[in-house]
Chain A
Amino acid sequence: MAERFQRDELVVLLGTPNAESSRLYALTVKEGDPSWAGALAGTQLGLDVYHITEPEVKAAIPSAIYEEHVALMTMVLDVDDIVTAVRGVRNGQS
C-alpha cells in the first residue's frame, strides 16, 4: 500500500487502545517493526501517523461525526498517554 502512493499523500490513522500499542503501530509504519518479528522489520516507510484522539485530528473532523463514532471511547481510553506516545514517534523522539 505504501509503495502504491506518494509518501507525503498517505496518512496512517490509529484507533489503538493504549499508549504501548499506539507507539508500536506508529513505530512500525514510520521506522519499521521495532520487534523485528513482522514483515515490516527493517522497513522504514516514513509515513505520517496520527491517533484519532489527537486534538488536531479531532479538529479536522465534523463534530457530529466524531461524537457518533469516537467520543464515547475517548472516555475510557488514556488519551493523554496515547497522544504523547504517537506524537513522540512522529517527532522522532521514540
Chain B
Amino acid sequence: MNMQGKKVIALGERDGIQGTALAECAKSAGADVVLEMTHCFV
C-alpha cells in the first residue's frame, strides 16, 4: 500500500487507536491528513 500523496481521513476510537496516532502514522508515510477524529462511545 502506498500512502504517499493520499488524502487520509483518520477515524480513531478511544477504546482502540486514537485519531492523533493514526494521523501521525499517516503523515510519516507521506500522506496528507485532511480529517482526524477520535470517537468515544462510553
Contacts and interface: CB of A to CB of B under 8 A. Distances in A.
A11 B11 contact: no
Nearest to B36: A13
A61 B28 contact: yes
Contact of A65 (B2, B25, B31, B34): B25
Size band of the interface chain A makes with B = 20 to 34
Contacts of B10: 13, 15
Interface of A: 1, 4-5, 9-18, 21, 25, 29, 47, 50, 52-54, 56-57, 59-62, 65-66, 68-70, 73, 77
Interface of B: 1-3, 5-13, 15-19, 21-22, 24-26, 28-29, 31, 34-35, 38
